[in-house]
Structures are given as C-alpha cells and as structure tokens.
Amino acid sequence: MLIYLILIPFYLTQANWNIPIQYSTLCSCKQITETTLCSSSQFCQVDMDFQCTDVLNYNCSYFNEQTVLYLCSELDRCYLNNEQCVELNNCTELSGQTNQQCYQQSKRCGTSSGNSCELTQCSSYSNEIDCNDSLYNIRFDNVGYGSVCYWNNNNSSCENLLCENVSAQQCQQYTNLCLLVNNLCTWATCQNLPFNSCTYVWEGAQRNAIQPCVLINGLCQNANSPSQLNSLECTQNTLYTYIYTPEKICQKCQYSNYLQLQLLLLIILYY
C-alpha cells in the first residue's frame, strides 16, 4: 500500500499535460543531435563539424565580448548593469519613474509603477509599430511573459490580444496562438490545427505555457504525455524542452530528480 501511495503523484502529473516555457528549461544545444532540429532552433546552429552549438548572441555575455553593449537590452533577458550585460531575473531589478525609462533598460520591463519597473503592459505602447513588435519581443527568458498585444485600429490603441477581435490578415501573424477558421480568427487548439501544422499551441494570451499536439489517425489532438511523441515530435512539439534519449524515451531536458527519488524510496522499502 505504501508503495502505491508513493507512485500516485507521478501518475497524476501525467493527466493534464501543459509545459511552462522558460529559457532555463530549454534543451541545451549539445543535447540536440538531429541537425534539422538544431538549425530550426533560434538558439542553436550547426557548426563546421556538424555539431549543434549555441548561437552566441543569445548569451548576455556576448555583448560584453563583442563590445556592443548598446545592444544589450535588445535581448529580453539581459540588461546593462555597471557597464556589463548580465542576466535579468526579475523586472524589479530595474527602476524607472516613467514607462520610457523602464523601456530603455528592457523592452520586457517597460511599464513603470512607482519607481519600479514591471512587465510591459499593452497600454504602455503608444504607437502601432511598438505595439505590433511586442509579439516578436516575447522570447524565452527567466523574467516572465506579460500579455501579447495587438493594435486596435478602431480606437488607435494597443490592447491585450483577443483572437476574435483581430482581422483575418492580423490573425495569421499570431502563429500557434490564433488561427483562421472559416475566415474568422479564433484561439488555436490542437483540434483545429491542420495536420501539417500539428505541433503545439500556446496556452492563452500570456504565452507562458504550451499544449503539445500529436497526430492520431490523421487528426491533430492534444498530446497527454511525452510517451505519445516520436523522436522528432518529442523536441519539436514541446518547443525544445524535451529530448528523445538513446533509450527511446521522451524526457525533459532539465528534468527533475522526482522520479529518481521515487525509485530510490522503492529500493529502500524493498530491501
């Protein structure tokens, strides 16, 4: 009975599978052996020896070494601190009395509250270009996500994205988040993705987690566990947070020791 109770939490975690996305949970480039997957990642590239290596300018230290500090804040998880480009772990590390002062330090943290900076709110963007560009500023990092924004032409303001409020033309730029169905923009789900785009969908406008998808009998469905994904889908459909091992197991790249702890407890109890 005791062994059964120990295993219950592990099985429960498999019932509702969505994956929080942060830079710290991504597979390292060294873990990716498939060249197609490597070259498709914005963080990795195939080198001259056909090995998967880091794209240097996605590391904050790159801006120090290349003496291009003025570009430091272009990468969302970096900011300039004492003339060094360093990792930004939380927007509260920055201070600013105005939105502009915060935004100049980090596009991610462009909203001022008191003298502290917070995640950029859509209402902080005063023009259409910055508002629409916010979609492309949302990358993997350790800071958090904030809302995806869109420019509302009817009242000339930047607002939180609601797929049903954007035009058919606008809809197509929100890949894996919104989808055009019968010429109407709607939230993307695995079930309404075409079979040739059956990879994953973002969970809600915050874009802080994904639901992996999988083809079953030619139809796109929610993937309920890593075991449903093959070697290519394992990494691609989990947005580079899982890897297919030589033992043919799809597991987290930065997986916890939780299961290992369970097995250890079983061994202790058995012996």
Contact 54/43 with Cβ under 8 angstroms? Answer: yes
- Say which residue, 9 or 181, is predicted with more confidence: 181
Residue 52 is inside which H or E element, if any?
A: strand 52-54
For helices 258-270 and 2-12, what crossing angle results, to 10°? 170
Hunting for tokens 């947070």 — which residue is that? Answer: 241
- Strand 149-152 to strand 157-160: parallel, antiparallel, or no bridges (unpaired)? antiparallel
Longest CA–CA separation in the chain, Å: 71
Contact 190/221 with Cβ under 8 angstroms? Answer: yes
Percentage with pLDDT > 90 across the chain:
33
Percentage with pLDDT > 70 across the chain:
81
What pLDDT, on a 0 to 100 scale, did the predictor assign at position 140?
A: 57
The structure's pTM equals 0.75
Tell me the C-alpha distance between 271 and 267, whole Å: 6
- Say which residue, 134 or 88, is predicted with more confidence: 88
Most confident residue range from 55-64, 100-109, 128-137, 247-256: 100-109
How many CB atoms are closer than 10 A to CB 160? 15
Convert the pLDDT of each residue in 99-145 to its tens digit.
889 988 887 888 899 899 988 888 888 888 888 777 655 555 556 66
Q: Which phi and psi angles does 149 have, rounded to 5°?
A: -115, 160
Tell me the C-alpha distance between 193 and 164, whole Å: 16
Contact 256/241 with Cβ under 8 angstroms? Answer: no
